Amino acid sequence: MAARAIWRGQIRLALVSIPVELFPATKSGAQIQFHQVHEPTGKRIKYEKVVPGVGPVDRDEIVKGYEVSKGHYVLLDPEEIESVKLESRKTLDLVEFVDVHDIDAMYYDKPYFVVPADDLAEEAYVVMRDALKASKKIGVGQLAMRGQEYVVALKPCGKGLLLETLRYADEVNKAQSYFREIGDTEPDADLLDMASMLIKRKAGKFDPKEFHNRYVDALHRLIEEKQKAKGQKIIEDPDANAAPPKGSNVVDLMAALKRSLGNAEEGGKAANENKGSAQKKRTAAKKSTPRHAPKKAPAKKAAGGRRR
């Protein structure tokens, strides 16, 4: 089934309007969802809406309420809430352009692919994409969607454009309140040099395919084993036979960094040795194989044989 656009409209920059469509750039992935089950009967547990002192109530009697003080609520009907929802405007106005690093990573929320709505929109779309690339800027604006208003950032993404919703300022905790107890002491120069060397040796390009959710993988294996065991309980502790940790909890940072650097060097040497050994084997194989294989003698015709 083809992906369905969650929003259709136009990006407007001054007098230029570009018809576009938005598609989710992410999916839920391989998360496992559990349900609560009544073990004796095997039936799923359901929840009733209950009022203390009254008991179960009908859904028609339930309204939403905002607590203004302890035990005091302002009650709102669904129609009243619906009346203040913003109409999904079909235009995204880019009100400013900021440097790529001006927006802290904490503010980014959810990404969407922006696709030109038709062939006629593609030329203006490509101009917008390449202009953002050349200027190294991000377009910022506000978009009304699904009854709410979002701050959004528009940036180049390969051959296309990526729109990301941003969190509002009151949705982000201030880092200072968490880091204020950290002192202003300067790190030891030797430790800093060794840590920098380790970082440099382990530098690489991020490939998300190299990482897997080992917890989810283990759950899948456990569920498969239980299915094969026809529902019997399986309890497995991989660390049950592991030796208890020895020694002090105090870690010698310098020694740990040296060991890390040593392991990195050994790993690099082993990789080079393996590569050299494989190269030698290929060279020897080439030398032992004649450049031109001898031609086979033509088969003799049988006496008196006729072609059919």
Per-residue pLDDT reduced to its tens digit, 131-145: 999 999 999 999 988
CATH fold of 7-27+85-171 reads Ku70; Chain: A; Domain 2 (2.40.290)
Per-residue pLDDT reduced to its tens digit, 59-70: 888 889 989 898
Per-residue pLDDT reduced to its tens digit, 239-261: 555 555 554 444 577 777 777 77
pTM: predicted TM-score of the whole model, two decimal places: 0.64
Average predicted confidence (pLDDT) for the chain: 80
What does the pLDDT read at residue 235?
52
User: What does the alpha-carbon distance between residue 160 and residue 152 come to, in Å, rounded to a whole number?
Assistant: 16
Q: Distance of CA 170 to CAs 33, 173, 203, 240, Å?
A: 31, 8, 36, 46
User: What does the alpha-carbon distance between residue 80 and residue 76 come to, in Å, rounded to a whole number?
Assistant: 6
Where would I find the H helices in 172-252?
Answer: 176-179, 189-201, 214-228
Per-residue pLDDT reduced to its tens digit, 181-195: 898 888 889 889 989
